Structure 1
Amino acid sequence: MDAKPSAIVAQSGGPTAVINSSACGVIREAAKSGKIGRVIGATNGILGVLKEDLFDISAEKNESIEALKQTPAAAIGSCRYKLKSLEDSKADFDRVLDVFKAHNIRYFFYAGGNDSMDTADKVNKLAAEAGYELVCIGIPKTVDNDLAFTDHCPGYPSVAKYVATCAMEAGRDTEALYTTDTCTILEVMGRNAGWIAAATGLAARSGEDAPHLVYVPEAGFSWDRFVSDVEEVLKRLGRVFIVAGEGLKDDKGEYVTADKGAFGKDSFGHVQLGGVAEMLKAVIEKEVKIKARFNKLGTNQRSAMHFASLTDVNEAYMCGQMAVKYALEGVNGKMVTLVRKEGPKYKCTTGLAELRDVANGEKKVPPEFINDKGNHITDSMRDYVRPLVRGEAPITIGDDGLPVFMRFERKPLEKKLPKYL
């Protein structure tokens, strides 16, 4: 057994452009502290723990650790494996604790969203009941920006910067060819929260700029009003560029989609959304009688490291760094939060929230961020998101003209327990 306790860092759910920056913060601060023996990586999140598929991150090259801040997605490996209640998933939770005990893991740093915080909270409770000293700290991560108790989530500023820029670029394309391609619809991620869609509104510096219409789930959606909105913009500009969040619901509370039976669910039980753009296109062509086309950015939104926000990279790193500092100070059962300081100049520090509270919360776009017509954003939303997208994250470009991303060597830890799963 190591003289000093080990820490494990795991990633869960959909990747982001900066979740690896948080991992880098954990690794660097753990090494700097001198109180943690080694940092262990759980390949593919909690699945890696269950399978005892672990590797020694502390043995990785220094340049690889540093390059995490320039590498998108989840370098340690992610998953969507859901641990349910302690009763329904008791074998899984017991296994997690057994693996931690076998490798003298006393610090658990879990980067993820609501479900990940729920898992970390349950592991923490089980360890306490078993009398096993374990510190569990959550690190916020979601491009959807729907975690409660934090001003914003690491990952959101970069996706906001990317989608707003895509709206600007595609908007100019529509402006150039409006005599042929009169309408363009951009569908973005976000599930039931409209934070990503709302961020594109930042691109509209003037009334001529795209997007001309922005629809978020929080505003409600009326087909009659939508057609009227489109016709109004067409009358004014002769073209229209629309952004729609994937979680739009109509006035009957049903998801706006071309295929009502198409939705499946992921392992967390979340509805897998999509199809909004197709439906809007069909209605526009039928009711307004103009040609419409749509763009879907897909996973590009969350993995666009080439245009990541420097603010986002730095804050994600800070969250990982502070997770270790808080843990070594005796904090337990909490998630690191981002706290925006008041004042004319943007400044962000960290705070803490209970894991169980984060697991049960959801942050939606507030009414004051949506205009009265429900078809665009307000200056309050612009003030909220503008400082988040500032700065360009540095990125190494190879001799071939393309970005250079790191990959772990993954020196495996010896398995000490029977096979599981």
Structure 2
Amino acid sequence: MSNCIVAQSGGPTSVINSSVVGLLNANKKLKAFDKVYGGLNGIEGILNKNIIDLSSISDEEIDHFRFTPSSGLGSCRYKLSDIDSCSQEYENLINILKEYDITSFFYVGGNDSMDTIAKLSKYARINKIDIKFIGIPKTIDNDLMFTDHTPGFGSAAKFIGTSVLETYLDASVYVNNGIFILETMGRDTGWLAASSCLAKLDNKSVVDFIYLPESAFDKDQFLRDVKQRFEEQNKVYIVVSEGIRDKNGKFISELQCSSQDKFGHAQLGGVGNYLKNLIIESGITSRVKSLELGILQRCAMHCASYTDLTEAFKVGELALIHAAEGETGKMVAINRDSNEPYTVSYSLVDSDKVANHVSYFPSEWINEAGNFVTEEAYSYFKPLIKDLPNLALKGNLPKYKVFNQ
């Protein structure tokens, strides 16, 4: 009997390890592979033979691993070269997989990870190599095509909604309140910022304005809107995506952006402070606070969505099942069948269709003024954040387990 390997790539999420455990669980039932290996630090680690046997780890440790946030196998941002320009890189990887008698490779990740799956499956097909390559979706950005949503997003949305409620209450304690700006991740899409619409008190949104990359940002209109709302209620709560752009497509925070990652993506951040200074300089009020959630929104297992955890587990299970059936070059996708009651089904999509494409927040879910979202958006988000995990504790803190330390 042959073996398989699973690895994680890109930014972490709260539920990425649940997909690995789902895969392990499926193999325990099917006995499709003798061993399930884990590649530490993604494909980069596999190329360096940083590989462990996950099959030998105790059930108790695996259970703790499932409820551990972040990438417990480690991650990387390693971009495979095009097949034509550097076939040696592919040959090296295939030789390592053969050395470990690996016939199925699973990659948990987002757009760039699906690009890796597409390239590897193409290389295997061209060279008649019998190794299956399957992508398992993961990204808090919720920007993968051909899937209703991605594992990791629901938990990030739950954390953002909770953070909005709590910071709103904190910012509302004084007679003379001010303006609060919360900055979320979201370089190309506004799914994360838009999910802040979930935060309600007495069935009323606590957020006044939401600004997304999909809607051109107008500085002057922004100041007029904020000024009017502040005069009406003596406080304003604003949520902004880090990737908002002007009408020419230029990042509002571009002047503060000085670096790119290996995939050429701008390393954004700081737009909240930019808007804060803009408001103060306009004379609306000097009482303005800005908070950048940063990495907190990625790995908050204490505030994760149990629905998200369950779906992450399921796509891991199905990835192994489909590989055992002979599928390759695919990604497991989630299809929403119903909102109320919330039900989903699963399917396979070609990884090359997902790779390097972006699922944008629907323009029809943005209000005409471009500064909030519609009720349809709220209905989309609501079932994704249902329930909380019951975490094991050690020393009255969550008991976590990783394998990359």
Q: TM-score range by the shorter chain?
A: over 0.9
CA contact (8 A) 2:256 2:270 kept: no
Does 2:289 align with 1:293? yes
CA shift, 1:108, in A, is: 0.6
CA contact (8 A) 1:184 1:294 kept: yes
Q: CA RMSD in A?
A: 1.5
Q: What SS does the corresponding residue of 1:299 show, helix, strand or coil?
A: helix
CA shift, 1:409, in A, is: 8.5
TM-score (norm 1): 0.93
Please point out which of 53, 58, 66 is paired with 1:56: 53
Q: Match of 1:119?
A: 116
Aligned AA for 1:269? Answer: G
Q: Match of 1:266?
A: 261
CA shift, 1:225, in A, is: 1.1
Q: Match of 2:386?
A: 390
Q: Match of 1:151?
A: 148
Aligned AA for 1:267? Answer: K
CA contact (8 A) 2:67 2:391 kept: yes
CA shift, 1:205, in A, is: 4.8
Q: Match of 2:345?
A: 349
Q: What SS does the corresponding residue of 1:255 show, helix, strand or coil?
A: coil
Does 2:3 align with 1:35? no
Aligned AA for 2:357? Answer: G
Please point out which of 299, 303, 311 is paired with 1:315: 311
Does 2:44 align with 1:47? yes
Q: Aligned equivalents of 1:208 and 1:344: distance in 2?
A: 21
Q: Aligned equivalents of 2:252 and 2:198: distance in 1?
A: 24
CA contact (8 A) 1:143 1:155 kept: yes
1:5-404 map, 5 Å: 5-177=2-174, 179=176, 181-205=177-201, 209-257=205-253, 260=255, 262-290=257-285, 291-342=287-338, 344-398=340-394, 400-404=395-399
TM-superposition CA deviations, 1:282-330 (whole Å, max 9, x none): 1100114312110111111000000100000000000000111111122
Structure 1 residues 363 and 28, CA gap change in structure 2 (3 angstroms): same
Aligned AA for 1:281? Answer: K
CA shift, 1:193, in A, is: 0.3
Aligned AA for 2:165? Answer: M
TM-score (norm 2): 0.96
Structure 1 residues 288 and 371, CA gap change in structure 2 (3 angstroms): farther
CA contact (8 A) 1:337 1:352 kept: yes
Q: What SS does the corresponding residue of 1:219 show, helix, strand or coil?
A: coil
Q: What SS does the corresponding residue of 2:41 show, helix, strand or coil?
A: coil
Q: Match of 1:416?
A: none
Q: Aligned equivalents of 2:205 and 2:71: distance in 1?
A: 34
Q: Aligned equivalents of 1:207 and 1:61: distance in 2?
A: 46
Aligned AA for 1:408? Answer: F
CA shift, 1:178, in A, is: 5.9
Q: What SS does the corresponding residue of 2:346 show, helix, strand or coil?
A: strand
Q: Aligned equivalents of 2:255 and 2:199: distance in 1?
A: 32
Q: Aligned equivalents of 1:340 and 1:177: distance in 2?
A: 43
Q: Aligned equivalents of 1:22 and 1:118: distance in 2?
A: 19
Please point out which of 399, 402, 406 is paired with 2:401: 406
Mean Cα deviation higher: 150-159 or 289-298: 289-298
Mean Cα deviation higher: 79-88 or 47-56: 79-88
Q: Aligned equivalents of 1:271 and 1:82: distance in 2?
A: 16
- Report how many aligned residue pairs link the two structures: 404
Q: Aligned equivalents of 2:146 and 2:222: distance in 1?
A: 33
Q: Aligned equivalents of 2:202 and 2:187: distance in 1?
A: 28
CA shift, 1:232, in A, is: 2.1
CA contact (8 A) 1:64 1:407 kept: no
TM-superposition CA deviations, 1:176-232 (whole Å, max 9, x none): 1361x5011100001110000000011135696421111111011101110111012
CA shift, 1:70, in A, is: 0.9
CA contact (8 A) 2:198 2:205 kept: no
CA contact (8 A) 1:197 1:216 kept: yes
Q: Aligned equivalents of 2:202 and 2:246: distance in 1?
A: 29
Runs of 4+ in 1 over 3 A off after TM superposition: 204-209
Unaligned runs of 5+ in 1: 411-421
Mean Cα deviation higher: 114-123 or 206-215: 206-215
CA shift, 1:130, in A, is: 2.2
Q: What SS does the corresponding residue of 1:176 show, helix, strand or coil?
A: coil
Structure 1 residues 89 and 304, CA gap change in structure 2 (3 angstroms): farther
Unaligned runs of 5+ in 2: none
